[in-house]
Structure 1
Amino acid sequence: MSARASRGSAADNATVVTSQKVREGRTDEYQRWQDKTNQAAREFEGFVGAEVYPGAGEENEWVAVFRFSGMEQLTAWLDSNRRQALLDEARELFEGLPTQEVLRGGSPAQPAPDVVTAVISHEVKPGSEQQFLAWQEKTLKAQEKAPGFMGSEMFKPVEGVQEHWVVVFRFDSREHLDDWLDSDVRAKLLNEGSKYFTSYDVRKVGSAFSGWFQFDHDKRGNAPPNWKQAMSVVLALYPTVMVLNLTVGVGLEKLTIREYIGLFLSNVLSVSALTWLLMPIVNKVFAFWLVPSRVAGNRRAQVLGLALVVLCYVVAIAVFGLITHQIW
């Protein structure tokens, strides 16, 4: 469930991440209320978008993310009578009060399938800010070595709005995130960092939709280079088109559907297959080659990934040549 608008600048975005535990049996009521809340937020100046995700933590936990074009616009929404009335209306739907973190800046994320995001807020001891930042940098260096790590962002407190320091990081699966959170390395780091903060809170957010290439929060690079994207798309597109031609295409010919309509239907099917089936698989299998931070300075991974993609090309061509009896 989501609501989006196209206004606003990523550089000045202000985001609020709200976590709420919905009472058992009240999920449908909550979703209707959340849709109503999304619509109300959309009417406020500076609204950029809203997404709602089932929590990847406790059962019946939901996470709502609202983005505005600036902190002033976000606080106008947070402090509005309209929002307060909506919160009062939903009081009986929640177990306890919702928690929220306000983040200044950052880019909207559209994580790939199975990606899990952790939002961790820290109450830093006064005067320990620089030591906390140094500890976070050390933690990030250790985290970058963890399997499935996709990137991290740090958000400083916002005076008068958000007093906590917030770290947002992503892993390519719930399993990899849990492995990191439960690791001995992190346990040692937390023990060391406890000198600089009095408490911290972890919330996990899972999402189900993605674009084709979503490594935009990798700290050391954006999306894969264009040539890698092109090769990856061809790797998924060629078998998709061939399978559709040999199945759906034949069926459409028998139904004598006009060519331009048949082409439209084929495009819908091929794009859907790419977006929700094949490209997620390609991204996951070739992540070692596509994710910029994983392949940086690793010549072996570069060569291996390229060789595997070319090998897949050859295998796919050979297979469809045999199927169509046109192998030379």
Structure 2
Amino acid sequence: MSAAASRGEYSATVLLSQKVRKDRESDYRRWQDRLTELARGFDGFDGTEVYPPEDGADGEWVVIFRFDRADQLMAWLDSSERRQMLEEGRPLFEGLPVQDVLAGEPPLPEAVTAVISHHVLTSREPQFVRWHAKLQKVQEKAPGYMGHELFRPVPGVQENWVSIVRFDTHEHLENWLSSTARGKLLDDGRDTFASYDVRRIRSAFSGWFRFGRESGTTTVPPNWKQAMCVLLGLYPTVMVLNLTVGKALQAAKTPAYLALFISNVLSVSILTWAVMPLISRALEFWLAPGPTAPGRTHALGALAVVLGYAALLALFGPTVG
């Protein structure tokens, strides 16, 4: 939570979705770093998060800027320095970025987050609020639902109503977004809004992989890199537990369901507080390469992880052979 929020004041957040040209991603990363440095020089800057495209997202990056107060965010958004940076970066993008300004403390984009913008019809705001409350009651019952917040427009900056909803998995979120119940509710609310837009922010293991906190910028690696690292940490953790705690529980004739639960508690705890922090630090060069990192960094990091798999298989193979 930001300093302003801890004092009971409203904070302000802007979410930017921008489609980066495929051949300009390295240039974009450098440009984005410069934009973050620019924002850091403005009063109230609280942090930035950068989310690369998901698989199949066709180059759409999501960037989040946080400020302590809405007026401080607006000062940065309206600044001549930022306008100049946007003009410099225009050749990097296909089309204009989609921008949502949220006045308030938004939920952290852990797990899977959908950002939904509604262009509400003039004079239909009260009806929209009632419709959205009805939507929310149904949404809360959907499997995997974790939280939701609705943000009103910010006059002169953000004209749309923006809702943020979080689910525990991508599958649960997609099931809700494509559900018959939601489709019927959207049909019921058509007389309150002219259009809506849905964007997704996903990081399946984002609690384990966050880089750049010291500089105020958070970078979340692509999910395929995260999954490779989790496997690198999970396999030896489970093997060691099976060879030690597992054998002890078996000797004590512990019921299988209880033994599995104890092993899961231990493996998750060890991964979260011991193994994954070590792996993320060791592979930071690959998980969050800097803007000047050579292109071969991605291949070298993946090769290092694969060699790690091979070493672990060679190590544990004789113990269970």
Shorter-chain-normalised TM-score: which range?
0.5 to 0.7
Q: Partners in 2 of 1:132 and 1:37 — Cα distance?
A: 36
Give the drift of 1:147. 1.1
Question: What is the match of residue 126 of structure 2?
Answer: 130
Give the drift of 1:55. 4.0
Question: What is the match of residue 272 of structure 1?
Answer: 274
- Which amino acid in the other structure matches residue 273 of structure 1? V
SS of structure 2 residue aligned to 1:25:
helix
- Which amino acid in the other structure matches residue 13 of structure 2? T
Q: Which runs of 5+ in 2 are unaligned?
A: 210-233, 245-268, 280-318
Q: Partners in 2 of 1:150 and 1:269 — Cα distance?
A: 23
The correspondence for 1:191, drawn from 158, 176, 187, is: 187
Question: What is the match of residue 217 of structure 2?
Answer: none
Partners of 1:54 and 1:205 within 8 A in 2:
no
The correspondence for 2:206, drawn from 209, 225, 244, is: 209
Q: Partners in 2 of 1:211 and 1:150 — Cα distance?
A: 19
Q: Partners in 2 of 1:194 and 1:6 — Cα distance?
A: 36
Q: Partners in 2 of 1:141 and 1:276 — Cα distance?
A: 42
- Which amino acid in the other structure matches residue 81 of structure 1? S
After TM superposition, the score normalised by the length of structure 2 is: 0.64
Give the drift of 1:191. 0.6
Distance 1:270 1:60, change over 3 A: closer
Q: Partners in 1 of 2:122 and 2:137 — Cα distance?
A: 25
After TM superposition, the score normalised by the length of structure 1 is: 0.62
- Which amino acid in the other structure matches residue 132 of structure 1? F
Q: Give the aligned CA root-mean-square deviation in angstroms.
A: 3.1
Question: What is the match of residue 257 of structure 1?
Answer: none
Question: What is the match of residue 20 of structure 1?
Answer: 18
Give the drift of 1:274. 6.5
Q: Partners in 1 of 2:90 and 2:272 — Cα distance?
A: 45
Q: Partners in 2 of 1:271 and 1:143 — Cα distance?
A: 33
Q: Partners in 2 of 1:78 and 1:201 — Cα distance?
A: 22
Distance 1:275 1:183, change over 3 A: farther
Partners of 2:117 and 2:161 within 8 A in 1:
yes
Q: Percent identity?
A: 48
Question: What is the match of residue 288 of structure 1?
Answer: none
The correspondence for 2:139, drawn from 136, 140, 143, is: 143
Give the drift of 1:46. 0.2
Partners of 1:101 and 1:162 within 8 A in 2:
yes
SS of structure 1 residue aligned to 2:22:
coil
Question: What is the match of residue 229 of structure 1?
Answer: none
- Which amino acid in the other structure matches residue 275 of structure 2? A
Q: Partners in 2 of 1:159 and 1:269 — Cα distance?
A: 46
- Which amino acid in the other structure matches residue 168 of structure 2? D
The residue correspondences of 1:49-64 to structure 2 (distance < 5 A) are 49-56=47-54, 58-64=57-63
Alpha-carbon displacement from aligned partner over 1:117-144 (angstroms, at most 9, x marks no partner): 1111111111211111111111111111
Question: What is the match of residue 177 of structure 1?
Answer: 173
Question: What is the match of residue 98 of structure 1?
Answer: 97
Distance 1:244 1:184, change over 3 A: closer
- Which amino acid in the other structure matches residue 183 of structure 1? S
Q: Partners in 2 of 1:191 and 1:87 — Cα distance?
A: 37
Give the drift of 1:153. 0.2
SS of structure 2 residue aligned to 1:194:
coil
Q: Partners in 2 of 1:108 and 1:151 — Cα distance?
A: 8
Q: Which runs of 5+ in 1 are unaligned?
A: 213-235, 247-266, 278-322, 324-328
Give the paired residue count. 226
2:74 pairs with 1:88: no
- Which amino acid in the other structure matches residue 77 of structure 2? L
SS of structure 1 residue aligned to 2:146:
strand
SS of structure 2 residue aligned to 1:50:
strand
Partners of 1:8 and 1:47 within 8 A in 2:
no
Distance 1:128 1:271, change over 3 A: same
Question: What is the match of residue 115 of structure 2?
Answer: 119
2:75 pairs with 1:73: no
Give the drift of 1:179. 1.0
Alpha-carbon displacement from aligned partner over 1:170-210 (angstroms, at most 9, x marks no partner): 11111111111111111111111111001111111113521
SS of structure 2 residue aligned to 1:147:
coil
Give the drift of 1:269. 8.0
Distance 1:270 1:55, change over 3 A: closer
Alpha-carbon displacement from aligned partner over 1:47-80 (angstroms, at most 9, x marks no partner): 0111011244722100000000001100010011
Q: Which segment drifts farther, 53-62 or 196-205?
A: 53-62
Q: Partners in 1 of 2:117 and 2:82 — Cα distance?
A: 23
Distance 1:40 1:189, change over 3 A: same
Give the drift of 1:273. 2.7
Alpha-carbon displacement from aligned partner over 1:65-110 (angstroms, at most 9, x marks no partner): 0000001100010011111111111101100011101000124515
